[in-house]
Amino acid sequence: MNTIETAKLEEHMEGQPNDTSNGYSRPSLSVSEENKNGTSKPKGLSNGLRKTAKKYPDYIQIAMPAESRNKFPLEWWKTGIAFVYALFNLILTTVMITVVHERVPPKELSPPLPDKFFDYIDRVKWAFSVSEINGMILLGLWIFQWLFLRYKSIVGRRFFFIIGTLYLYRCITMYVTTLPVPGMHFQCAPKLNGDSQAKVQRILRLISGGGLSITGSHILCGDFLFSGHTVVLTLVYLFIKESNLLRMHFIHLSKLLMSNAAGIICILVAHEHYTVDVIIAYYITTRLFWWYHSMANEKTLKVSSQTNFLSRAWWYPIFYFFEKNVQGSVPCSFSWPISWPPSCFKSSCKKYSRVQ
Partner 1 sequence: IPGEMKEVVLWSPEEVTSWLMDNAVPEYCEPLKSFTGRDLINLTEEDFRKSPLSRVSSDSGQRLLNMIEGLKMAHHMEAHKNGHANGHVRAGDPARQNGFGAALKLNGIPNGFKKEMIKIPMPEPERSQYPMEWGKTFLAFIYALLCFVFTTVTISVVHERVPPKEVQPPLPDAFFDRFDRVQWAFSICEINGMILVGLWFVQWLLLKYKSIISRRFFCIVGTLYLYRCITMYVTTLPVPGMHFKCSPKLFGDWESHLRRIMKLIAGGGLSITGSHNMCGDYLYSGHTVILTLTYLFIKEYSPRRLWWYHWLCWALSMVGMFCILLAHDHYTVDVVVAYYITTRLFWWYHTMANQQVLKEASQTNLLARVWWYKPFQYFEKNVQGIVPRSYHWPLRCPALARGRQVKYSRLVSDT
Report the interface residues with partner 1, using CB under 8 A. Answer: 103-105, 109-111, 113-117, 169, 172-173, 175-180, 225, 274-277, 279-280, 283-284, 286-287, 289-291, 293-294, 297-298, 300-301, 305-310, 312-313, 329, 352, 355-356
Half-sphere exposure of 209 (CA within 13 A, CB side): 18
Least Cβ distance, residue 221 to partner 1 (angstroms): 12
CB-nearer residue toward partner 1: 109 or 251? 109
Examine the residue annotation and report whether 101 is marked as an active-site residue of this protein: no
| Active-site choice (12, 101, 229, 271) | 229
- Compute φ and ψ for 149, nearest 5 degrees: -75, 150
Whole-angstrom CA distances from 30 to 16, 40, 204 are 13, 10, 77
Q: Which neighbouring-strand residues pair with 149? A: 334
Whole-angstrom CA distances from 244 to 72, 162, 293, 325, 348 are 18, 19, 15, 23, 10
Least Cβ distance, residue 138 to partner 1 (angstroms): 20
| Active-site choice (12, 101, 271, 273) | 273
Least Cβ distance, residue 309 to partner 1 (angstroms): 4
223 by Cβ neighbours in 10 Å (0-12 / 13-18 / 19+) ranks as buried
CB-nearer residue toward partner 1: 16 or 286? 286
Helix (H, G, I), strand (E, B) or coil at 253: helix
d(Cα 345, Cα 335) in Å, to the nearest integer? 6
Helix (H, G, I), strand (E, B) or coil at 149: strand
Least Cβ distance, residue 312 to partner 1 (angstroms): 6
Contact 229, 163 (CB under 8 A): no
CB-nearer residue toward partner 1: 47 or 286? 286
Tell me the Ramachandran region of residue 216: left when phi exceeds 0, alpha when psi lies from -120 to 50, beta otherwise. Answer: left
Residue of 139, 331, 130 lying closest to 238 (CA atoms): 139
Examine the residue annotation and report whether 273 is marked as an active-site residue of this protein: yes
Least Cβ distance, residue 135 to partner 1 (angstroms): 22
Helix (H, G, I), strand (E, B) or coil at 334: strand
CB-nearer residue toward partner 1: 21 or 305? 305
Contact 267, 234 (CB under 8 A): no
- Compute φ and ψ for 334, nearest 5 degrees: -125, 155
CB-nearer residue toward partner 1: 104 or 233? 104
CB-nearer residue toward partner 1: 60 or 303? 303
CB-nearer residue toward partner 1: 12 or 158? 158
Least Cβ distance, residue 115 to partner 1 (angstroms): 5
Chain-centroid distance, C-alpha 77: 15
Helix (H, G, I), strand (E, B) or coil at 264: helix
d(Cα 174, Cα 96) in Å, to the nearest integer? 8
**H or E stretch at 144:** helix 127-148
Examine the residue annotation and report whether 185 is marked as an active-site residue of this protein: no
Least Cβ distance, residue 178 to partner 1 (angstroms): 4
- Report, as residue numbers or ranges, the catalytic residues: 229, 273, 277
